[in-house]
Chain A
Amino acid sequence: MPIACEFEYYKPKTLPEALALLAKHKGKAQALAGGTDLLVWMKEGLRSPEAVVDVKALKELKGLDLKGGALHVGARTTFAELIESKLVKEKFPLLWECSRTVASVGVRNRATLAGNICSAVPSLDSAPALLTYEAVVLVQGSKGKRDIPISQWFTGPKKTALKDGELVLGVKIPLPKKHGACYAKLGRYRGEDLAQVGVGIMALANDEYRVAFCAVGPTPMRAKRIENALNGNKLSDELICRAQELVPQEIKPISDIRSSKEYRLHMAGVMLERGLKAAAARLAGEGPAYGESVL
């Protein structure tokens, strides 16, 4: 299917050049990294930018490394690179596990984590991991840099805190303590799918838990009430039951073509239970291998 809109394509070599282009085409420029969302939207006529600014030549957006006690994920980093990284697999297993569920192999070879959070769809697979790891989004505009906590990043369905003229440089994830994790994703079959419910769980020592959901509200969200109910308590069926009872207070699912509200609510509870058990087991060095679905 052809792209019907006319646009200028730029591939700036420096960051100031890129920011100048975004400023020049204020509101009518789109940054292009993997293009796995943008190109589809342009073909379908959902976006008709006047300028497309390809960021794949910007060295400032490159890199996947640990520095200053945090993982720096440059905006050009693809999901395939995250999955292939030993560092990510060992230190950030939740990010690793959720990355493997994003779209398909072909898409993951191009799609970037930064692009993913800029799309900001409610079903964003990477969001529960970033929320529980308390990541920070690094952005820069012509007026300077901003660090935006991921908890303030998602402002609505397909809406973010990114301002016009700003570019995402990357995502910074503080190195967490030793933990077990689980990303449970509900799909309609085993092949690639958009999450109907996503639950990311992090189990730390001393009975500390972090829980985040996606696809069950206008934005991905941390579930603080559930975390409070869990924290400090030994994981038991009874405790899980109490946590499950809080699910309807935490999430606001809708009915759509992918799932009914009722099934989403039901499954959020089931997945919370299975995710908690898997994360706790993994912390203890047991349980299913990372990447193995609990559904």
Chain B
Amino acid sequence: MPELKTKPHSKRNHEPPKHDGSKKPAWVKPALELPPQETPRTAPEASQTAYKVVGTSAERIDGWEKVTGAAKFTDDIEFGPGLLYACVVESPHAHAKIKRIDTRAAEKVPGVVKVATGKDFPFKFGLYMKDRYVFAQDRVRFVGEQVAAVIACDPKTAKRAAALVKADYEVLPPVLDPVKALEKDSALIHPDLGKYAHVPWFFPKAKTNIAHWRKIRKGDVEKGFREADFILEDTYTVPRYAHCAIEPHSAIGLFDASGRLSMWTASQSPFTQRHGFAEALSGLGLSHKDVRVITPYVGGGFGGKAGISMEILGAALATAVKGQPVKVMWSRAQEFYNTYQRQGVVAKVKLGVKKNGLITALEHTLYWDAGAYVEYGANVVNAVGLSATGPYKIDNVKIDSLCVYTNLPPGGPYRGFGYSEFFFGLESHITRAARQLKMDPVAFRRKNAIREGDILTYGAPMNPNGLLEAIDKTAAAIEWGKPQKPSGPDKAVGKSLVLFWKAPAMPPNASSCAFLKFNEDASLNILVSGMEIGQGLLTVMAQIASEILTVPVSKIRVETPDTDRNPYEWQTVASHVTWGCGNAVKRAALDAREQIFDVVQRTLHLSKDSLYLEDAKVKCRTKPGWELPFESFIIAGIEAEDHTFKGGPVMGRGMFMPEFSSAISDPETGQGGHPNVHYTTGAGGVVLEIDKRTGKAKVLKAALAVDVGKALNPDLIRGQVTGGMLQGLATVLYEDMRFDEKGRLLNPSFSDYKIPTALDIPEVVIPIIVESAQPDGPFGARGMGEHTMIPAAAMVANAVEDAVGARIKSMPLTAEKIALELNKK
């Protein structure tokens, strides 16, 4: 590939910041960050760690609705007989110029209300890079891309008419391989790349297919390799994957006579969508105040419902049929080929180690198959570029994470945000290096594991973590070092243990807000815009408020948002909402508590310092036996001696933004800035039995230890571990997306894209909770949702090698691949 040079981004001095250990790192300032009070104001005997509600497995507040099937999802909402349906016309080509689109025949079909094409909406959109249009304009870039849509009175009329839209194309050579896409004679997918707007931490290379190139240069990598006694170099490949949420994407838009656009979407990101819709459609005179996004329960997101993908169609088309709601709902096939996909990657790993087991240098080059549009996916590439050392202390690092356009469906966020992909190569490599050194792979990992204060790739220090505890507990759970007998003569058992970490990948100013409203009976309504996507957010937010305000969880209602009513939240992604939204709720609860203390002090002349809350009552340390139940004043206020009333409805407000974070660094070295707020670390282990004849793998035991800081709801964490582990194991054992030589997806259905069933659950899953507090997290908590699937791929690859001696370097490790490797003639 050609070496592409960029100009320095700025003339600042790019010396990495010095951390001498005497000064507290930037993130250690929770006390300053948590107004109004962080001092204990619970019962006098209660210490900071003796919590009553957080740390217990409170029952899910959405559980009953969901298990009975009563919960409403976007597609369940009734819009009456006036509802219109849209059907999109899709490109049959991976790469082509659009010569003309003839909609006349479709327009004549009875029941058709409107046929829209790119000409009607020449608007760009995109989260981090504006490289997408509502409909393809002059060029299509993947098979299935929308070029037009028919709006009709019912779905079948829309579908029939869509088949009559005639589009003529001039077919161009498709670019399907991210490494070949970098060759000089490769076709250019975005000739105007140089003109695209993007966030300041992206570095697209005009007149190439490189949409972003994240570089890390830390220490002296050449020196590191010179110091090594042994260097291991290899290439690992990971294909694309689909999220496969059971609920397909859907969007209903209504543009009413007042000029207001209301959207009902299946989404993880109501506010980001509102912003995206308002921004993209500003040419039609819409402003943010006019756009309202309502997001009911979500039937699985996994990143696929983050940002904006097909929902832009619902918004745009609604403006074309003013006064009537219009629905766009993806079929299962569209779900596969026209939403975000997890990007594929070709990763070259070069690792230098000393005989004593110390890692001296790492060179990690990742070529990402980012697809036709990278408006979100480029940030996955960026996140990996910052973190592709894994949780190891490595002084000399060179990382190149390249976001490469291809003529395949747009890449985007998927649970793990690129970490599962790079860990497949890195953690395979770590085990291989240990084996070459004749060192125990767990001891090797322990020796190099990152510790608090060690310097990260971009120069900031590592946060407190319980990584070593996670390693030890996982090793114990899988009885590391103890051989296990196979169940039959054709079988072999292997074990492995790998590490993982992940940081939330967010803009530095991603924020979360909460409103908390008391009612007459001292019950509470909490308004947040963090999404319940199955992880249990609503329950945990109620627990946080309950802990501070001593109102039981059963008296707290938290619901999915409506952007008109609920306050701002960036997105429910990045495993950050327990932390970010949790901090906002905690602050809102503290704000409400302060209001309570204020009015009691002001009216009843009891010192605030002597007051505390218990069982939804105000109590006083200096006046035993005195108590003031919330319901006596929480709305009505407190009656003073003169029969006037003081106070009034108590309403808490909380906001959280990580003010220490910044994304700007030297483009050539990645040094400077504080792009990641913290890392969650852990370890995964597996006991795997392989049938040497069939190649089939059976997971006898899977264990995963994750340092959650503080387990706010242990059962929900165990659920995440089990689900994430299962999702991860599927990606390594049988899932993958396959494309033909024309860029057409060959398996856009569950017939040939397999996700696990109840029969595929490992025999034993052991979730292990490690709690090494996150100083700025609510009660010390940090996120862990995505992390649970990250170790799976390398864990299986290493266990397969341990069992049968075969090293497989491309995912997935299907039974077929293993059997053919073992039965080579």
Contact = CB atoms under 8 A, between A and B. Distances in A.
Given A2-B156, A4-B163, A257-B746, A189 B760 contact: yes
Interface in A81-129: none
B819 A266 contact: yes
Nearest to B156: A2
A190 B691 CA distance: 14
B820 interface: yes
Interface in B667-710: 691, 693-694, 696
Contact of A191 (B159, B160, B760): B760
Nearest to A259: B816
Contacts of B331: 1
Contacts of B154: 2
Contact of B819 (A190, A191, A263): A263
Given A2-B156, A257-B738, A257-B747, A266 B757 contact: no
Contacts of A190: 757, 759-760
Interface string B809-822: 00000111001100
A262 interface: yes
Contacts of A266: 819-820, 823
Contacts of A158: none
Contacts of A191: 754, 756-760
A14 interface: no
Contacts of A205: none
Contacts of A1: 155, 331-332
Interface residues of B, number: 32
Contacts of A270: 693-694
A267 B752 contact: no
B308 interface: no
Which of under 10, 10 to 19, 20 to 34, or 35 or more describes the interface residues of A?
20 to 34
A250 interface: no
A192 B757 contact: yes
A188 interface: yes
Interface string B140-178: 000000000000001110011001000000000000000
Interface string A253-295: 0000111101100110010000000000000000000000001
Contacts of A20: none
A270 B693 CA distance: 7
Contacts of B758: 191
B258 interface: no
**Secondary structure type dominating chain A contacts:** loop
A193 interface: yes
Given A2-B159, A3-B156, A266-B823, A189 B694 contact: no
Nearest to A294: B694
A140 B804 CA distance: 56
A194 B730 CA distance: 17
Nearest to A103: B751
B820 A295 contact: no
Interface in B563-588: none
B310 to A, nearest CB: 15
B762 to A, nearest CB: 11
A190 B761 CA distance: 9
A162 to B, nearest CB: 24
A4 B752 contact: no
B734 A4 contact: no
A295 B697 CA distance: 11
Interface in B41-72: none
Contacts of B456: none
B820 A188 contact: no
A260 B760 contact: no
A191 B756 CA distance: 7
A267 B694 contact: yes
Interface in B732-764: 733-734, 738, 746-747, 751-752, 754, 756-760
B85 to A, nearest CB: 9
B489 to A, nearest CB: 12
Given A4-B160, A262-B820, A188 B155 contact: no
B823 A2 contact: no
A47 B467 CA distance: 57
A189 B816 contact: no
A194 B331 CA distance: 22
Contacts of A194: 751
Contacts of B756: 189, 191
Given A189-B760, A191-B759, A263 B816 contact: yes
Interface in B161-219: 163
B246 to A, nearest CB: 14
A194 B738 CA distance: 17
A112 B348 CA distance: 52
A189 B815 CA distance: 9
A144 to B, nearest CB: 38
Contact of B155 (A2, A189, A257, A267): A2
A193 B757 CA distance: 11
Nearest to A193: B754
Contacts of B815: 188
A147 to B, nearest CB: 33
Nearest to A267: B694
Contacts of A258: 752
A4 B154 CA distance: 11
Contact of B694 (A2, A3, A295): A295
Nearest to A45: B163
B742 to A, nearest CB: 15
Contacts of A295: 691, 694, 696
Contacts of A192: 757
A215 to B, nearest CB: 13
Contacts of B752: 257-258
Contacts of A2: 154-156, 159
A35 to B, nearest CB: 17
14 contacts: A1-B331, A2-B154, A4-B160, A188-B814, A189-B734, A189-B759, A257-B738, A257-B746, A257-B747, A262-B820, A263-B816, A266-B820, A267-B819, A270-B694
Interface of A: 1-4, 186, 188-194, 257-260, 262-263, 266-267, 270, 295
Interface of B: 154-156, 159-160, 163, 331-332, 691, 693-694, 696, 730, 733-734, 738, 746-747, 751-752, 754, 756-760, 814-816, 819-820, 823
**Among all A-B residue pairs, the 8 with the closest Cβ atoms:** A191-B757, A190-B759, A2-B156, A2-B155, A263-B816, A4-B159, A1-B331, A188-B734
Given A191-B759, A295-B696, 4 more contacts: A4-B159, A191-B758, A260-B820, A295-B694
